Amino acid sequence: MKRIVALFSGEGTNLANIIEKIHHKHALITCAITNNPNAAGIAKARAAGIPVEVIDHTLFPSREAYDEALVQSIRDYNPDLVVLCGFMRILTPIFTSNIRSINLHPSLLPAFKGAKAIERSFESDEQVCGVSVHWVTDELDGGDIILQKSFTKNSSDTLEEFSAKIRQIEHEILPLSIIQLLKEL
């Protein structure tokens, strides 16, 4: 069975989604790694019996030093694919040139790269919004698109309602992307 390492930083809702839809069905999530020792996703991974590594970025003198530790930890698990599911770190070439990984981003890239994409998309004049899964490269949110799904913005939606639509699409297209890629590996 193919092996995945998942990277996350917060609540772990996308991590929980791929645990439910992928783990032991299409691949094994051999480890979940977070940069945040207080991430709620830690409990979600542990509840599924998935080992968790906390590599706290605040304990490293630079992004490069952090990425070196992250790369070494990932290599220990020898994954077929690394999935960034809410991993809120800008990665350096130390990571991007050594680890083949995909990222989930809550906008229709190339629009709204980087942080606060949901809020920026919601506040924009764009009528069509959505979610992207893409390859991770040196360029922030700039790698080749694997899968996108869009929806038409409803002007009466609150930010909370808009965010819920984004999350629903994330939970749909991230597992689909993983399954598609694992078949190609």
Residue 82 counted as domain residue: yes
Residue 44 counted as domain residue: yes
Residue 121 counted as domain residue: no
Residues annotated catalytic, as ranges: 105
Q: What is the pLDDT of residues 119-176, one digit of tens each?
A: 999 999 999 999 999 999 999 999 999 999 999 999 999 999 999 999 999 999 999 9
Can you give the pLDDT at residue 109? 97
Q: Between β-strands 128-135 and 145-152, what pairing exists: parallel, antiparallel or unpaired?
A: antiparallel
Range of the domain at 38: 2-108+131-149+169-184
Can you give the pLDDT at residue 49? 98
Beta bridge partners of 163: none
- CATH number of the CATH domain containing 91: 3.40.50.170
Average pLDDT, the chain: 97
Can you give the pLDDT at residue 185? 83
Q: What angle do CA 143, 23, 142 make, to 5 degrees?
A: 5
Per the structure, how many domains does the chain have? 1
